[in-house]
Amino acid sequence: MGFSLNRKPMILILPLLLILLSNLDPNHFADSASSDYSTLVYKGCSKETFTDPNGSYSQSLSQLFGTLVSQSTRTKFYKATSGSITGLFQCRGDLSGRDCYSCVSRLPVLSGKLCGKTAAARVQLLGCYMLYEVSGFSEISGMQLLYKTCGATSAAGTGFQERRGTAFSSMENGVVGGHGFYATSYQGVYLMGQCEGDVGDSDCGECVKSAAEKTEAECGNAISGQVFLHKCFISYRYYPNGVPRSSSSSYGGSSFSYGSSSSGQNPGKTAAIILGGAAGVAFFVILLLFARNLKKKHDDDDF
């Protein structure tokens, strides 16, 4: 190799964490959310850096980025290798091909600005993400918990957990039939899930099932929540009084600090950065938009 690795005491292992903020009004963003796919949600950078005297690392990374961006005009997921660096991108399942390309094309520059010459990096926008890592990084389980957050508001009355459980069961089947992406509703519970593009349908269903079980255990009666595993995520929101057309209420969330028990990781292996309130409510805004669209088609789908 034409570049050398500078190892620091703590090694970061991808993938990395999503940060959510609370006390923000989602309706402030709802009207423009469909075009805000380029909003920066989080970045994670390896603590390992490179010296690159002959430019081979930079050349390999540039070639990788070029391949990924060019493929984003044709597909919503692509994985490639250049030299000793492997990377991939994925767009949200509901993005158009044009928006996918527009989203992914921003990521190489952002990755360089935010992470520099690191051994591994992940940059997540509202509509897409890109990651890369140098050969030799440790593998982790696809179902390993990366991050969770539960809404601050609890559902009143009875029956909520049963509704959410039924909705989760539908999602477990839905991501299989939807080949990795699914959004639906059941009796006021609106939810969405997605798996990484190289996960098979059966494994995707298992990943989403694991995420759902973790959500039920960790979030209890919270009316909203998200769980991110290595290879999939799920997000839900409960509207007991129907989907709001306009509202001043905010989504409950939680902030993250290194060492927080909610992260499921230790600070030596994970890193994230809070980069603005709009990113903090990103996926809840998406759920609100899905909820409104679904409500136009049906009221409380009985599956």
For the question of whether the overall pTM of this predicted structure is more than 0.85, the answer is: no
Question: Following DSSP, what letter does each residue of the chain receive, concatenated?
Answer: --SEEE--SS---S--------SB-THHHHTTGGG-TT-EEEEEE-S-EEE-TTSHHHHHHHHHHHHHHHHTTT-SEEEEEETTEEEEEEE-TT--HHHHHHHHTTHHHHHHHHH-SBSEEEEEESSEEEEEEETTPPP--TT-EEEEEE-SSBPPSSSHHHHHHHHHHHHHHHHHHTTSEEEEEETTEEEEEEE-TTS-HHHHHHHHHHHHHHHHHHHTTBSEEEEEESSEEEEEEE-TT---SS----B------TT-GGGSS-TTT-------HHHHTHHHHHHHHHHHHHHHH-SS---
Q: Cβ neighbours of residue 149 under 8 Å, at least 6 residues apart?
A: 20, 225, 226, 253, 254, 256, 262
Q: Which domains does the chain have, with CATH numbers?
A: 4-134 (3.30.430.20), 145-252+280-297 (3.30.430.20)
Q: Cβ neighbours of residue 169 under 8 Å, at least 6 residues apart?
A: none
* Each residue's pLDDT tens digit, 25-64: 333 333 334 457 888 877 778 888 877 778 888 899 999 9
How far is Cα 235 from Cα 215, in angstroms, rounded to an integer?
9
* Each residue's pLDDT tens digit, 78-103: 999 999 899 999 998 989 999 999 99
**Locate tokens 């991110």: which residue?**
228
* Each residue's pLDDT tens digit, 194-221: 999 999 999 999 999 999 999 999 999 9
pLDDT band at 135 (very low <50, low <70, confident <90, very high): confident
Structure-model confidence comparison of residues 192 and 78, the more confident one: 78
Peptide bond into 15 cis (omega under 30): yes
